[in-house]
Amino acid sequence: MDFFFLNLEQFQSMTKQSADTLFDKNGFTVGATYTGKFKSFYTGKEMPSDTIASWVPLSGERLNESRGESKIIAIGDGEFANEENRPPRENIVFFINLVDYLMDDVGLAEIRTKMSSESPIQETSDDTKKFMKWFNLVFPPALILIIGLYKWNQRKQKKKNLQKA
């Protein structure tokens, strides 16, 4: 089997033609689902004990084979849904759909695809940022001050009218 290393700088500077020739092979399995009855790895073997002194051995029934049909999903990249790497939204949707599939609740995937997509925040100019900063700093206190002066004036007028009567 052939393999190669490709660093990020090489990958980013690659043309479409060179990428097509580099990745022209097919038949690579990047993910697979397995269904059926699975046998335990520990069938006919001694269960390992933990190294912690307070470890309590399993007291439940030991299964040597799954009772019914089971599902296992194997993905060739464990980082595809790692939030620290900020994966594309499609990877997260794919992961959630996998969980739905494992729970036999595929109907939820149909509902989820009808949701609105997220819209990224657009970059703003420095002038707009400065305006928003000063507007948010000055406008709320000024509004409260104006409302306070209005209420104070109303009470003053009401008091003046009561004294005349």
Phi, psi angles (nearest 5°) of residue 85: -90, 5
Number of domains, the chain:
1
Report field, pTM of the whole predicted structure over 0.75: no
Mean pLDDT for all residues in the chain = 78
Least confidently predicted of 43-52, 138-147, 151-160 = 43-52
Range of the domain at 80: 29-38+68-118
Residue 115 — pLDDT band, cuts 50, 70, 90? low
Q: What is the pLDDT of residue 100?
A: 81
* In the chain, % of residues over pLDDT 70: 72
Distances (CA, A) of 28 to 1, 21, 23, 38, 67: 11, 15, 10, 25, 32
Give a yes or no: residue 101 inside a domain.
yes
